[in-house]
Amino acid sequence: MTVSPNPPTTPKLPPPRWFRWTVLVLISLAMFGNYYIYDSISPLADVLKAQLSFSDADIGWLNAIYSIPNVFMVLIGGVIIDRIGIRRSTAIFAVLCLIGAVITASSGVLEIMAAGRLVFGLGAESLIVAVTTAIAKWFRGKELSFAFGLNLTIARLGSFAALNSPSWGSTLYESWRLPLLISVVAGVVCVVGAAIYWILERSGERQYDLGGEGGTDKIVFADLWRFGTSYWLIVSLCVVFYSAIFPFQTFAVKFFIEAHGTTREVGGFLSSILTLFAMIATPLFGYAADRNGKRASLMVFGSLLLIPAYLIMAYTSVTLYVPMAMMGVAFSLIPAVMWPSVAYIVGQERLGTAYGLMTMVQNIGLAGFNLIIGWANDAWAASASNPAGYVPGMWIFSGLGILGVIFALLLLRRERGPGAHGLETITITNQ
C-alpha cells in the first residue's frame, strides 16, 4: 500500500489593488480622528484666554506637552510595532488617543487638560508611526508615495474639520468645553478605524501573501545610529517643517484675530487653508515622486517657499491666503516625499523603529518651538493692541525655513553622489 504525498499547497498571491486601497482608506479613519483631536486646541485659543484666563505660554504648553513624551515614546512605539505587529499596535495607540481626549475635555484646570494632552500625545504620534509602517508594508514597490499622499489627505480632513469648527459649529464656542467634546467623538472614530484595520489585516493574512509582518526578533539600539547620512538629513528636514508649521498653527487663529483683525470663523478658515492646500498637493506630489523621482530636489523647492511666507504675514498687507497657500504646498512635501523615502533607505524589519526615531526627533522640535513661540509672544506682549509683538515669532519661523534649504541641498548633493539610495532616480516604473 502506498501513501500518496500531501498535495502541494497553492502559494498565496499578493493582495489585489482594490484590497490594498480599501485598507489604506479605512486605516486613514484612525488618522482622521487623531488629527482632529490635535487641532481642536487652536480655534479655542482666545476662548481659553477669555474664559479660563490662560496665557499664550499656557496655550503653547497644551501642545508642547503633547510632544514631550514622544521624545521617548515614539521610539518605544516603533519598537513595539516591530515586535507585536501593526494591527495590535494601532489598536493600543488609538485607545490612548481617545482616553486623552476624554481627560482634556473633563476639566478647565490647566494641569488636568495638560495631562489629557500628554496621554493623547502618548498614543497619537505612535499611531502615526504605526499607520505609516502599515502603508509602507502594503505599498512598498508599488504606488508608495501616492499612497502616503492619499492617507494624509484623509487625515487632514480631520484638521480641516477642526480648524473650521468655528464656522460649522459656531454655537459650540460659547463654552470652552463643547468643542472638546466633539474631539472626543473624533477619538471614537480613531478607535473604529483601528478596529477595522485589525479585521482587514487578519482577513488579508488568510487570503494573500502580505510579505510577513515585518517584525524582528531583536532590536539592537546601537543600530539606530547607523541608518546613514541621508536618513538623518530626512529627519532634519522633518524637524524643520514640523517645527515651522504646527507651532505656528497653535497660535494662528489668535494671530489672525489680533494682528490682522479677522473674526474667529475667518481665522479658523485661514488656518485650514494650509491643511486644504496640503490635502490637494500631497497626493499630487506623491504621484510626481513615484513617476519622476527628484525627491531631494522637491524638498529644496518646499524649503524655499517657507522662508518668505511668515515675513509676508508680519510686514505686508498681502492677502493672507497667499502665504498660507505657500505653507500648505511646502508642508505637503513631507508626507508625500520624505516619509516614503525612509522606506527606500531602511529595511522592513527596522522600519517601525526608523519611523519611531524620526518622529521622536520631530517631537523635540515640536515641544521646543511651541514653548519658544508662546514665550516670545508673551515676552513681546503680542496682543490686539500690540500686533507687532508677533513679529519675533515670525522671524523664528523664517529662520527654520533657511535651515530647511541647507538640509535639502545637503540631501540633494548626497543623493547625486556615490552613496545615493535612489531618492532622485527611483520611479514606479523601475522599482
In the predicted structure, residue 359 carries a pLDDT above the cut 60: yes
> The C-alpha cell of 210 is what?
502580505
pTM for the model: 0.69
Q: Give the orientation angle of helix 17-39 with respect to helix 86-106, to 10 degrees.
A: 20
Residues ≥6 apart with Cβ < 8 Å to 146? 283, 286, 287, 290
How many alpha carbons fall within 13 Å on the CB side of residue 168?
8
pLDDT band with cut points at 50, 70 and 90 for residue 9? low
Note the pLDDT of residue 255. Answer: 93
What average pLDDT does the segment 194-220 reach?
A: 68
pLDDT at 400: 94
Q: Identify which of 275, 416, 283, 397 has the alpha carbon closest to the alpha carbon of residue 339.
A: 283
Three-class DSSP category at 386: strand
Predicted local distance difference test score (pLDDT) of residue 296: 84
Helix locations, 316-350, DSSP H: 321-333, 339-345
Domain 21-415 has CATH 3.40.50.800: no
Q: Tell me the C-alpha distance between 41 and 63, whole Å.
A: 8
Coil vs helix vs strand at 3: coil
Q: How confident is the model at residue 144 (pLDDT cuts 50, 70, 90)?
A: confident
What local confidence, expressed as pLDDT, does residue 276 receive?
82
Domain boundary assignment for the chain? 21-415
Per-residue model confidence as pLDDT tens digits over 385-410: 999 999 999 999 999 999 999 999 99
Question: Which position has the higher pLDDT, 357 or 375?
Answer: 375
Residue 6 banded pLDDT, cuts 50, 70, 90: low
Looking at residue 8, its pLDDT comes to 52
Tell me the average pLDDT of the chain.
83
Q: Which of 105-109, 192-196, 366-370 has the highest mean pLDDT?
A: 192-196
